[in-house]
Structure 1
Amino acid sequence: MPSATLTSKGQITIPVDVRNRLGLSTGDRIEFVLNEASGRYEMVPATYSVTALKGIIAKPRKPVTIQEMNDAIAEQGKSAR
């Protein structure tokens, strides 16, 4: 069974076998999820496809024109000064 040692800075090196099995590479993020049933944490890759974001934001009720966007940006710029 692979194991790792916690450093004084709270860091660990994930063994290569575990990284390969999870499909992890440099720069990938990992989430630690508490399994309520077992009381243990599970380590899962936090890599999501862009398609997973579909539907997270509702479509506007009324389409906004480029001019309306520009006007809103200009208005915010005035109030920021």
Structure 2
Amino acid sequence: MPVDVRNQLGLEAGDRLGFSFNEATGRYEVYPATQSLASLKGIVKKPAKPVSIEDMNRAIAEQGALAR
């Protein structure tokens, strides 16, 4: 990441970044990830049934095809 962008975001070496998709603009946004990973535990419930790698890959491929 260019130095000027890191400076604007207030980032230092080793800092983490977050990414999100802005549906209104159709662009990804980058922001400093200030929350610890431990603080995020439990915000997403476990699925009722296990999901296989094949199911995950299929879902990713389908979403990718829809985005084109």
Q: TM-score, normalised by structure 1?
A: 0.42
TM-score scaled by structure 2? 0.49
Max Rg structure: 1
